Structure 1
Amino acid sequence: MTLPRGKDFRPPWPLRSGHIQTMLSSSGVRRQLLPRAARTVQQGAEQVMVDGGEGVRLTGAYTAQKTQPQARGLAVLFHGWEGSVDSTYVLQTGSRLLADGWDVFRLNFRDHGDSHHLNEALFHSCRIDEIVNALADIAKRWPARPMVLAGFSLGGNFALRAALRATELNIPLRYALAVCPIIDPGEGLFSLEEEAPWFYRAYFMHKWRRSLKAKQAAFPQQQYFELAELDQDLRGLTEALVVRHTDFDSLQAYLDGYSVADSALKALQIPATILTARDDPVIPVGAFERLELPPNVELDIAQYGGHCGFIRGMDMTSFTDDYIAARFNAVVGT
């Protein structure tokens, strides 16, 4: 079976701009133009609560496939930072996998997807334990085999870290795929502040502040941040988060806590693929080129695609749908 590669993605002009790809990836325009088939994963979806361990509750949506007598397996999808199970890219990928005969589970991270009221402590990117525990709970409750996993941006980072721990925790994960994952958070934060156009920072900060205000409204007895702290830039607010809500001694220690840079993935035993684009304006490609990977991990750097875009044309569908589906199907030999 010949699998699609990043080099196969050749969008028409002007979709060869990484900025246009990135801006369209999460835009309302894209959501409006997507074909109805890209939303089928929402039909008949079961809204569920999963166990993150130590009392942590996470929400998700499970959709059983109906195209085959028996499911190919269970596909779990992780959204990006300030996304949700209903993010456009998650719905599109989930709908494609559903059509190919996969049962699909879409997981919300803590404080994502209107779940701010469920857990008093704030979300941060080093909360990998609850994601791994949630995967174990999902595998136990929906024991379709094999289990495969895909994540986008920060969700791709979580997917790679979850895959690192899956074997030791007896989670039956067979394969993981990360689209434009955060590799070196310190470098990524610097790039977003110093090199990326201002509107990316404005976009992320708007969504993050809105989420923090929703958290404060859910737990009015808490004071998560001072008003002055909410007015800080990305680095300042992240540092305030570290000081107030984590056990890390410094911002750099926190960023290192969820890094998968350099040799961090050499111990990965589960087959995996990392797909990114050379023109991603959010995550520098250099971090990918410096990765030290074992033979079972595929690194695929496309020329085009932006950050989690890979949009093929005016129908706003993404090359990543075919890419992910082909690799998941290869896991079961079809």
Structure 2
Amino acid sequence: MTGLPSGAEFRPPGPLRSGHIQTILSSSGIRRRLLPKAALEILDGAEHVLIDGGDGVRLTGVYTAQKRQASSRGLAVLFHGWEGSVDSTYVLQTGSRLLREGWDVFRLNFRDHGDNFHLNEALFHSCRIDEVVHAMGDLARRWPCRPMVLAGFSLGGNFALRVANRAKAAGLPLSYVLAVCPIIDPSEGLYSLEESAPWFYRAYFIRKWRRSLQAKQALFPQHTYFELAELKQGLRGLTAALVARNTDFESLEQYLDGYSVGGDILADMAVPGTILTAADDPVIPVNSFRQLQLPAHVELDISAYGGHCGFIQGWDMTSFTDDYIAARFNAVASGRLAARIPDLASP
């Protein structure tokens, strides 16, 4: 895509070329403290709203209207990663950049993320795509500014791709999707965390997950989401126990397959888009991306550096993904991408 940033251009200095340092810094408190004030602009004038997920499901999110231009470029929706929220540093940073570019921005919390543990008794799991698709329809009706574009990070990138894959059938007016380091094959991802990635990644994820599960249990004491012995297990054991206790899936493998976007699952996706990942991502194996079968209007961009959702450019903690996402979204709004990709019209 000529004239747009590419992953090959991302060349961070010195120590920031480590995928582990990129990954650790991506969600660290250090990054949030060092970010310029402009990265928190999205918080000014933000409107907290309840979103309809269908079948009685309620989700939360935050809408911020742009004030830089006479009219908005469109509606940009952002999805956080697993155990993140609308207030995750990378979501705030990207949202603030898009706001300055003239986009209205909506940040969506998945079930049991952020402030919405109390809204739905049933537990979050990664196959709950129907409620997210329904929520996107609610957003499209409430804020009809077009084009409507979507970006997601990690598990949020996986959700974003599945939303785009269902957009045409669901009647969603989605013009473009961009996924940063999305989970492709959950079975491979779980194996990677268990066998390949350093121990501190497992410790980080399971600590946050246990804390969320305990918060959910405290709100719904009448419902047994887990036994204490199950909560003490590792990632695979706890996932298997929760799947068996809280879902209709017959096995852990069936559950993991349920939210895979690997192989040819995205081959017929009607919505144009981009998948950006890094070859040095220690969490999501890069081979999963190389095995994808994608339509011509979906771009796969594998950077040599970036870690997992890092892409941090320097010691000011700003991210290359902000430039990357903003450039592509702006090209959608101006029609420049449509000129090169005939399918870039809304379904």
Per-residue CA deviation, residues 29-51 of structure 1 (Å, 9 max, x unaligned), is: 00000000000001100000000
Contact 2:129 2:162 in 1 (8 A): yes
1:250 aligns with 2:251: yes
The aligned residue for residue 318 of structure 1 is 319
Alignment-mate amino acid for residue 182 of structure 1: I
For residue 148 of structure 1, what is the aligned residue in structure 2?
Answer: 149
1:45 is aligned with what amino acid? A
What is the distance in 2 between the residues matched to 1:26 and 1:193? 20
SS at match of 1:299: strand
Q: 1:114 Cα shift?
A: 2.0
1:295 counterpart SS class = coil
Letter of the structure 1 residue corresponding to residue 57 of structure 2: V
How far off its partner does 1:278 sit? 0.2
In 1: Cα distance, 2:211 partner to 2:187 partner: 23
Separation (CA, whole Å) in 2 of partners of 1:314 and 1:332: 31
Equivalent position of 2:91 in the other structure: 90
In the alignment, which residue of structure 1 is the partner of 2:215? Answer: 214
Q: Does 1:25 align with 2:26?
A: yes
- Counterpart residue number, 1:38: 39
Instruction: Give the match for residue 279 of structure 2.
Output: 278
Instruction: After superposition, give the CA deviation of every residue in 1:238-264 in whole Å (9 maximum; x if it has no partner).
Output: 001110111111000000000000101
Q: Whole-Å Cα distance in 1 between the matches of residues 14 and 162 of structure 2?
A: 36
Output the CA distance in 2 between the equivalents of 1:59 and 1:293.
32
Structure 1 residue 222 displacement after superposition = 1.2
The aligned residue for residue 289 of structure 2 is 288
Q: Report the AA paired with residue 322 of structure 1.
A: D
Q: CA deviation at 1:277?
A: 0.1
Secondary structure of the structure 2 residue equivalent to 1:111: coil
TM-superposition CA deviations, 1:138-194 (whole Å, max 9, x none) = 000000100000000000000000001111111110000000000000000000000
1:11 corresponds in structure 2 to: 12
The answer for the alignment partner of 2:125 in structure 1 is 124
CA distance in 2, matches of 1:298, 1:132: 22
In 1: Cα distance, 2:44 partner to 2:288 partner: 39
Counting only pairs closer than 5 Å after superposition, residues 222-237 of structure 1 correspond to structure 2 as 222-237=223-238
State the match for 1:202 in structure 2: 203
Contact 2:60–2:115 under 8 Å retained in 1: no
RMSD of aligned alpha carbons: 0.6
What do residues 21-75 of structure 1 show as CA deviations (whole Å, max 9, x unaligned)? Answer: 0000000000000000000001100000000000000000000000000000000
| Secondary structure at 2:313 match in 1 | coil
Aligned residue for 1:168, secondary structure, equals helix
Q: C-alpha separation between the residues in 1 aligned to 2:320 and 2:248?
A: 40
Flag structure 2 segments of 5+ consecutive residues without an equivalent: 337-347
2-structure distance, mates of 1:169, 1:82: 27
Residues 52-131 of structure 1: pairs in structure 2 closer than 5 A: 52-131=53-132
Secondary structure of residue in 2 paired with 1:77: strand
How many Å separate the matches in 2 of 1:166 and 1:147?
A: 12
Q: What pairs with 1:155-170 in structure 2 (closer than 5 Å)?
A: 155-170=156-171
Provide the rounded CA distance (Å) in 1 between the counterparts of 2:186 and 2:164: 18
Aligned-partner residue type, residue 60 of structure 1: G
State the number of aligned residues: 334
Distance in 2 between residues matched to 1:104 and 1:273, nearest whole Å: 19
Work out whether residues 22 and 312 of structure 2, in 8 Å CA contact, stay in contact via their aligned partners in 1. yes
Ranges of 4+ aligned residues in structure 1 off by more than 3 Å: none
Instruction: Show CA shifts across 1:280-302 (max 9, x none).
Output: 00000000000011101000000
Aligned to 2:180: 179
Q: Which amino acid aligns with 2:82?
A: W
Letter in 2 for 1:175: Y
TM-score, structure 1 length as denominator? 0.99
Opposite residue 208 of structure 1, the aligned amino acid is W
Which amino acid in structure 1 is aligned with residue 159 of structure 2? Answer: F
> Using the alignment, how far apart are the partners of 1:324 and 1:281 within structure 2?
22
Which 5+ residue runs of structure 1 have no aligned equivalent? none
Alignment partners' CA distance in 2, 1:210 and 1:308: 22
Q: Which amino acid aligns with 2:59?
A: L
Between stretches 213-222 and 154-163, larger displacement belongs to 213-222
Alignment partner of 1:52: what SS? strand
2:342 matched residue in structure 1: none
Letter in 2 for 1:56: V
Separation in structure 1 between the aligned mates of residue 174 and residue 272 of structure 2, nearest angstrom: 10
Write the distance in 1 (CA, Å) between the matches of 2:266 and 2:273. 10
- In structure 2, the residue corresponding to 1:14 is in which secondary structure? helix
Identity of aligned residues (%): 74
In 1, Cα distance between equivalents of 2:37 and 2:119: 32
Secondary structure of the corresponding residue to residue 191 of structure 2:
helix
Bigger shift: residues 177-186 or 164-173: 164-173
